[in-house]
Structure 1
Amino acid sequence: MTETENAARGAAMLPEADVTPAVLIERAKAMVPALVARQHETEQRTYYAEDTHRAFRDAGFYRITVPKRYGGYEFGFDTFLQVAMTLCRACPSTGWMFCLGAAHSLFAGSMFEEKAQAEIFGGGDFIAPLVNAPYGTATRAEDGGWILDGVWRYCSGAPYATHLIGNTVIAGDDANPPRRLLFIAPRDQWDMLDDWGGQLGLKGSGSHSIRISSGRIPDSFGIEVNFEEISVTEGTPGRKLHAHPQYGGAPASSMALEGAHIAVGMCQGALDAYTELMFSRTTIIPPFLPRAEDPDFQLWYGKASGMIDAAETLVLAASRRWHELSGLPVGAFTAEEDVRIAITCREATELAWRAVDEILQPTAGSHAVREGTRLERVWRDLSTGRTHASSAVLLTTVANRGFAQLRLASARRRPAPNA
């Protein structure tokens, strides 16, 4: 099938030609009560249910940032992030699995060439976990493609994934050192392992491992690049191919935005649970007022609300900045701007977490954090999410140093102000 035929097939599958971003966000909000009610079964299953998957598919959630020429909506990444944040507010596991599976149509639509994209997006819907760490190996096939072998861990979204985006190592020889390969592998080239659910939290996030045994992909499905060194200052294939400039945006900060929206959504869910306690529970000393009428609980509630609202304001502003930079001429989205957005996301995540960990969870009382309660689940899920390598290590070490180096180098080049 030609690239033109693939594009036409995807466009013909577009579910609703007149749908708007606001409609999709409202559809996500309408799903909140059911997702809250099904959190326990989601954890038991280790991923969200088949009917939930169908509901997301029918709502168009898996096509939000799929390019329009391949049957997607090509809406802004900010629309996707708001949908993900809403789902995380309801059920952290479900929101995490959805976000870290469906978000990467943006990455695929940005980084791969037209030939690969026409095949990658041939089905319209797109779900692909993205694993930054280089696992396994890649060798050249006789036909010029790649043969992949290995196990890729923490593949959030794997149960319903159409693809895997991974990183691996191309073995070297005496003349050539080992080098990295960024690849995309269709579902028929890999198997999902039954190895998720035993963690402290995010038990239902579908973050299973994926095994590839002699999997074969065409040459166009691989890019020889170190993931952490990807730059968009010279443009991207997607920026040339698609109308929306977001396909020229920097990927590191887009992924930091994913994590920050997930965290803020979780914390909003914790505040929802605490709000219910403000009306259903009383103080522990006379006159046994409803917590909503007690000055201390009002103080704690107001403080935590302000912190979470401030975190949301930060992530929304960071998202706007990401879109603004993507829309400027090629070269404007520098490495410094990329890292700047990423560390802003880190600060927003930290602020929202502190509201839950330092205020809501301690003052809710032991009754409210029994196993299976909403607040207890959010605290577990947030705690587990904070152990993600990007949040716990890269954004607290590499990103800080990198930003300082880039900012100071820029400052050194600027002329001194007039005395």
Structure 2
Amino acid sequence: MAPARGRRVARAAPGGGRPLTAAFVRTVSKPGKYHDGGGLGLLLRVEPTGSKRWVQRLTIGGRRREIGLGAPPVVSLAMAREAALANARSAREGLDPIEERRRRRETLTFAQAVERYLASKLDEFRNEKHKAQWRSTLDSYAGPVLGVLPVSQIAVADVLRVLEPIWLAKTETASRLRGRIEAVLSWATVAGHRTGENPARWKGNLSELLPKPGRVARSGNHPALALSDAPPWFAEVAQRPGAASLALRFAALTGARSGEVRGALWSEIDLEARIWTVPAERMKAGRDHRVPLTAPAVAILDAARGLPAGREQFVFPAPGGGALSDMALSATMRRVHAAAIAAGGQGYLDARSGRPAVPHGLRSTFRDWAAEHGYERDMAEIALAHTVGSEVERAYRRSDMLERRRAMMAAWADLLTGDPPAGTVVPLRGRSQ
């Protein structure tokens, strides 16, 4: 039976007698040219490397020409047929589709391509959250590098400049981002704004330059809480007394580094304005950093005044006086993790590395949440006190988006302090504790 199946495939595709099918396009691997039929000159070219691409052969101005239409699976059979039909109509009207595409792609930038692609595709997404995620990841990570580049000039090296900085630290986000860049550039190809191979294609392209997502070594990254674990984790920490527990929750709510929280002074807190100003000498970037304080953060500060050494200058003093040590926060996280395991759960693990989450990883959890919920890249980066933009851009930026960040941090606080998802087990401390 196997030889018979092979003969049917050979008659169906290469000869051009029968139209191609989506299943055939997906599964064919034998090198060759497979004609679609229908009189549009559309064919699927399969290279010896296994890569596939759509080509249309047309007679334009008395000359036989070939037009590239992108590659599957991003450019589906239906999309290739639609583009081929548009080209055939243009040629019939005396126009040159190749020249038209060349003229259009001279001016279209990647940022403009994103807008046009999303304008035609957003209605296909199932919910508003998915729409926001698409735009947010492209704006946050691809925009600063590719935004002003003409899509006709974007090469593999440009795509790597976007992906390499986050490929190891945020592999899942980077993998999704790569697929979204590929989709935008494939649209640009079909729409006539670029030609040639898609520089964001994985198989036989970026797969040779980047580690496979499933095999990325993450030993150098700080293990972070999974977003789904954040509410039950926060609830468990809240059950634990002491300065370390308060400081850990304050760090989670503000997105601040452990050292910034442990060294926080009452003189830096303006409760009336609900602002915590961390002075430049205590900041990694060497600049003052204003943190908007949400209602849960203010409640923690109120509780901190009742600590045994709460009248000291430090907001979260150590039991014997002075500032808390970094080990105090780490130890609290380990105890919370151990309690979750004792209650029959898996603990609080990093979704990628499988290691227990640590205090610094809370910042990564916040950053992933901000990107997934459509918050602007600059605003989220400023909240983390990261350096944003070039030196010139920073010189012209007069606002640190404080009030807009206040709304964002309130939404983040709602996630942390809200009821755990249905079915989540929140481990409770026994009487002996």
Higher relative helix content: 1
Structure number with greater Rg is 2
Give the TM-score normalised by structure 1.
Answer: 0.24
Provide TM-score, normalisation by structure 2: 0.23
